[in-house]
Structures are given as structure tokens and as C-alpha cells.
Amino acid sequence: MEKRAAYESVLPYVREWIDYKVWQLRLPGVQVAIGFEDEVLFSEAWGYADVEAGRRLTTTDLFRIASHSKTFTATALLQLADAGALRLDDTVGSFVPALVEAGSPIADATVRELMEMGAGVVRDGADGDHWALDHPFPDADQLVALVVEGGAKVPVGSAFNYSNLGYGLLGLVIEAVTGTTYAEHVRSAIVEPLGLTGTGPEFDPAREGEFVVGYTSLHAARTRQRVPHVTTGALAAATGFHGTASDLVRYFSAHVPGRGSLLSDHAKRLAQRKAWSALDTDPAARGYGAGFIVDRIGGREVRGHSGGFPGQITQTVFDPASSLVVSVLTSSATGPAGMLATGIVHLLDAAADEQAPGPELPDGVDTDRYTGRFTTFEGITDVARVGDRLLAIDPTQPVPTESPVRLRVVDEDTLVMAAGNRFGSVDERITYTRDDSGRAVSFRGDSGMTHRPWSVPEESPEVAAALV
């Protein structure tokens, strides 16, 4: 099966799996988009943009995408370097003279070292309670003061240390080079050329009605609380951006080598090349390039970024080799954006895997006769089409394809559990019972138990509010 067709074959199940995860984990709202070869193949939203108001989440509602901002900042710097407006080996002190005046060792760090998180800058400073919204985010003078106070926690250029303050400094570099504000420059250089109408470098009070409400987590309370929107001051270059999942798919598609005119391929390779590993003991671990996280999902090398803003967690990954992009935005302080994005990539890869174990579907078979979500007293099973195969999947798992049962079609009412964990009922039959219309009312399957159809209940805003 051609790759795009394989991806499209599993998108109906991607929708069903996310639908279940949103319900299972009681998530206020989730937005997902998937792109391939410069096209948005999938864009969906679940839950509420504002639970208490009963405002349903749409694909155009705006999320705070937090550290995705670093990729925009790095992109702007690489554009300026391509244009000869700066050199990546220029020192930050040459653009932010207050660091030199204060005698900070960070003044000697290069733009490249800051982009790669290798400049030794403290992460958030001695007082990072702006993240708890206890006080405003720092302005430019406060940012420099936090950097000076923190010093170089390791020698400049010696180790990877993720730093929001470091990217705040890079925002000041952009302002010094361009003579405009950070917000004005990234809008004109990146956002507007790509037509990203749902994307911007800072919270916009004029569009407040389009922003989702973020919520606290359930790790220390039985209920979630609303989180107010705030501006991010001089840390906009590190965490200020807002956006939509579909906009992020378009944006990261432009970072695939050979596609778009946002950056030269040379600059893209520089940004996406792994400079550091996050674990000193494991060079192969997740790492960082120049503004981009470098990671693996299964057999794929992926790039992208996560984002953690008060009340919202987001994740986008893209494969520079194939152009696949997956973006997941959640409106909860512990929203499982990374888990959902990883699960989606695994489903897409399983659909496109021509060497996958298990029997292929016969030509012309109507898989709708078998697919659906079924429950027993003990658990839940999804029968889903994934590429050219039919699988029984446990949707409660974080990676839905981790241990599926592979199914073989016998006839219109019978499947065989052809392969899977043999603690189950492999080599036995699944037999459907149908009503007069042909709709499946049950099947007997694993352990000989009767499985009955089930779907995520439609909950009123009042019920959803009670759950939040």
C-alpha cells in the first residue's frame, strides 16, 4: 500500500483512539493535526475550549505553545545568519552589552552556543515563580539581571543545560540586529510568509475569545482549576508563542529539507543536527540541536519541540526524512501531549509497515463489519483497521500498537486471532452476532467472553465541568 494511502487508512482509528484517551484521562481539551508531504491530512479537536462556559474546542482555537517558541527564535536567527546580518559565532555580549558591563561570563557565549543550550545559562533563574503566575514574567532588564546573578553554572560550551533565560537573551539579540521588536520581526519573517493565521509570538488580548482556557492538573487535587492568561515579557522568545495544531503542521513542514523557502537546507541541517545528549551517560538519548529537540520514535529519527505553559502541554514531532508531522495540543498542566503524539506515530508506522506480521486483508473485504470498540466486565478492546491488517488493540495503553492481536478474516461473521501474546486466546475464533440490520450486537472472543459494543458517551457541559 502506498504510504499516504496507508496513513489515510488508519486515520479513522486515530480519531477513535484519541477520542477514548480524552475520555479515559478526563482531559479538558485536545487538538491534533497530522501532515504529510506539505498537506494537512488530519485536523480534529475534542473536548472544550472553556469547560465552564460550555464552549466546544475547535481546530481554530488558540493554544499557548510555550517552548515551540524556541524553534521560531532559532529559525529567525538562522535566517539572519543566511542573510549575513549576524554570524552564529558572534558573542551574545556584542548584542547585549549589559552582560559585558556586568562582567558576566555569559557575554562570551556565542549565539550558536545559546541556540544549542550549551552556554551554561541557568534554566529559569533563582526566582522562577513567574511560571506559577506568582508575579509577572521578567522584562528585559530583569532577564539580564537573572542571567548575571546566575552566572555560568558550568563553563561556557562545556555541557548541555536547557535554559529559558538563554532563549530570552536570543530574543534580545534579534532585537539588536533588526532594530525592531522580537514580536514584529518573527511575525514579518516567519508567521506572515507562511500564512499562519492562528499563530503569534505572544498572548493577544484582542483575540482572548479564541484562546483555550488552560487547567491545572489532578496530581494534588480532585478537581482542576482555570489558569489565567498572562504575557511573557522578555521570555517571549522562549515561551510566548500561541498557535494551532494545523498551523504547527504547516510550519514544521517548511523545516523539512527540500521543502519550502523558509530556510536554506544548510540552515535546516544545522538546526536539526544533534549537538548534545540530554543524558551524560547515554550519547544516544534524546538531545538538542539548535532550537530543535532531536529524538527517536520507534525506528524514526524525529525533530520538533514540546511546550509546557501554565495549564497547557503541547508536542510537535516531524520526520525530516519523510515529511510526516504530528502535532498534539492539550489544555491541562499534565496533558499527555507527548504520549499521544508518540502513539499516533506508532499507528501511522504500523499502517505503512509492509513487513508487519499477521495476515493481510483479503481483497474487497468490508472491514466495517468487524471494526469498533467492545467491552467486557474486565476490559475494553478496539478492533481496528491498520493499513492492510485487522488488529485487536487495547486502547488504554499509551502505545496502542505495542501488543496487538493480529486477526485473520474467515467469513463475514468470523475472525481468527492469528498472532499475538499467547497468554491470550491466539489461534481461537472471534464470532460476531448481528441484528436484522447486520449491525454487530456482540462477539465472543478472548477467553470466550461476550464483548458488547461501546462508545465514548456524549457528556453535557455540566457533566464535563463536574469532571474538571
Residue 129, pLDDT > 60, answer yes
pLDDT for 463: 58
Average pLDDT of the chain to the nearest whole number: 95
In the chain, pLDDT over 90 holds for what percent of residues? 91
Q: Which of 146, 178, 210 is the last residue of a domain?
A: 178
Residue 464, pLDDT > 90, answer no
For residue 118, what are the domain limits? 70-178
User: Could you give the CA distance from residue 432 to residue 429 in angstroms, rounded to a whole number?
Assistant: 10
Instruction: List, for residues 367-425, the tens digit of each pLDDT value.
Output: 999 999 999 988 999 999 999 999 999 999 999 999 999 999 999 999 999 999 999 89
30, 169: one domain: no
Q: Residue 407 domain-assigned?
A: yes
pLDDT for 219: 85
320, 230: one domain: yes
Q: Residue 357 domain-assigned?
A: no
Q: Once rounded to an integer, what is the mean pLDDT over residues 102-126?
A: 97
Instruction: List, for residues 196-219, the tens digit of each pLDDT value.
Output: 999 999 999 999 999 999 999 888
User: Could you give the CA distance from residue 445 to residue 414 in angstroms, rounded to a whole number?
Assistant: 10
Q: Residue 137 domain-assigned?
A: yes
**CA 224, 225, 227 angle in degrees (round to 5)?**
130
- pTM of the predicted protein model: 0.96
3-class secondary structure per residue, 293-356: EEEEECCEEEEEEEEEECCEEEEEEECCCCCCEEEEEECECCCCHHHHHHHHHHHHHHHHCCCC
Q: Which residues contact 74 (CB under 8 A, 6 or more apart)?
A: 115, 170, 271, 290, 291, 292
Q: Which of 145, 178, 211 is the last residue of a domain?
A: 178
Q: Residue 24 domain-assigned?
A: yes
Q: Residue 461 domain-assigned?
A: no
308, 342: one domain: yes
Instruction: List, for residues 60-87, the tens digit of each pLDDT value.
Output: 999 999 999 999 999 999 999 999 999 9
Residue 283, pLDDT > 90, answer no
Q: Residue 28 domain-assigned?
A: yes
Number of domains in the chain: 3
